[in-house]
Chains A and B, each alone.
Chain A
């Protein structure tokens, strides 16, 4: 049988997929709190923006993250943050299955006919990153696009759809 073709999520996904975040009267199945920083140790903020080919911040992207280690899923639209960031509160993963700690990421937006897959690695995992099988598949000069930088508030990970800093997207 032939796969059902993918179509864009469009600009108006919010009330269906992220309703509570956008203050619609419909229950959200997922949000950006994969672990509560008040209840759990080792919870970090992962924050970033999504940029288009002109370098403009994309205000209507939807980001999903999947943490296979903790079996946690999160979803956030960039439309409600004043700076159009995505923000996740989540466990910092550790190494699973010999891979460096990472979060799986799926990127949706108007203008994407198929969603994009990427990964968030962490800059303070230098040794594990150097041995990671998936990162090793990526050309050396593009690996940095997959590595979140650490700051006082947590980790920052920006997604560039195009251009010199274009994030590595995966065919999985």
Chain B
């Protein structure tokens, strides 16, 4: 029986597990070499989600937690395509989204940053890709915020994403950054990615999706691990 073999992580663009400038990796990154295993049914399957899982406003973070008014900040619309390394669109991909508010404050209970919470913005949402692998959602541009990694450390503006492709092999958690952000050059999490991969994490301003008098548009494409061009015989 022939079996598709998915590519493993490409470490020319993927960060190393241990990146000492990002201090939390020192005690948390696995230290022993990973054991390379053959992909079996367990790796080549995964959970399936659908539009039926999503709430009406899950794709609109500017609306999904309104209490008494509009959320504060710069409204944006983000779109793009989810593909694999072979350029093939991945339909029905669940994209989960979370981020800080416009002031750089997370709703999370342990975030101590002295910036206001926004009663009308949770900062969480989700959407699915369509049959052509396209997705789109509305949100508020997240603010930068300080963190304790090093003196005067600030995270660049970013949106967190979690994706499920066709199986657990191409599970991806990543962050999208914004073009021209002056904090990128100081951020050890962004810089943990090899230079060849960094640009892949920066969205592009997209006038074609920018909505007049409403929201600035950004494009961000995702490329999940693909399968090797030639199916292997499983012997």
Give me the interface of A with B, judged by CB distance under 8 Å: 1-17, 19, 22, 24-27, 29-30, 52-54, 56, 58, 66, 68, 71, 73, 96-97, 99, 102, 104, 106, 108-117, 119, 133-134, 137-139, 142, 161-163, 166-172
- Say yes or no: B9 contacts A3, CB within 8 Å: yes
| Bound Cα distance from A4 to B119, whole angstroms | 33
Known interface pairs A166-B30, A166-B31. Does A8 touch B9 (Cβ–Cβ under 8 Å)? no
| Complex A-B: 9 CB contacts under 8 Å | A3-B85, A4-B201, A7-B193, A11-B110, A13-B160, A17-B162, A29-B96, A104-B43, A113-B25
**Known contacts A1-B87, A111-B25, A115-B171; A12 and B30 CB within 8 A of each other:** no
Chain B residues with Cβ below 8 Å from A22 are: 109
Chain A: minimal CB distance from B38 (Å): 7
List residues of chain B with CB under 8 Å of any chain A CB. 7-10, 12-17, 19, 22, 24-32, 34-43, 45-49, 53, 55, 64-65, 83-87, 94, 96-98, 100, 106-111, 122-126, 160, 162, 168-169, 171-175, 189, 192-193, 196-198, 200-201, 221-226
A99 to chain B, nearest CB (A): 6
The one of A16, A56, A112 in contact with B29, judged by C-beta atoms closer than 8 angstroms, is A112
B174, A7: Cβ atoms under 8 Å?
A: yes
Q: Return chain A residues, CB-CB under 8 Å to B28.
A: 52-53, 58, 109-112, 161-162
- Complex interface: chain A residues within 8 A of B226 (CB): 1
User: Given A53-B28, A111-B25, A1 and B223 touching (CB < 8 A)?
Assistant: yes
Q: Are A6 and B24 in contact (CB under 8 A)?
A: no
Known: A26-B65, A162-B31. A66 touches B46 (CB 8 A): yes
With A1-B86, A29-B49 already in contact, the answer to whether A111 and B14 are too (CB < 8 A) is no
Question: A6 and B172: CB pair below 8 A?
Answer: yes
Query: In the bound complex, what is the Cα–Cα distance between A49 and B28 (angstroms)?
Result: 14
Give the complex CA separation of A24 and B175 in angstroms: 22
| Inter-chain contact A170/B25, CB cutoff 8 Å | no
Within 8 Å CB of A9, what residues of B? 160, 162, 173
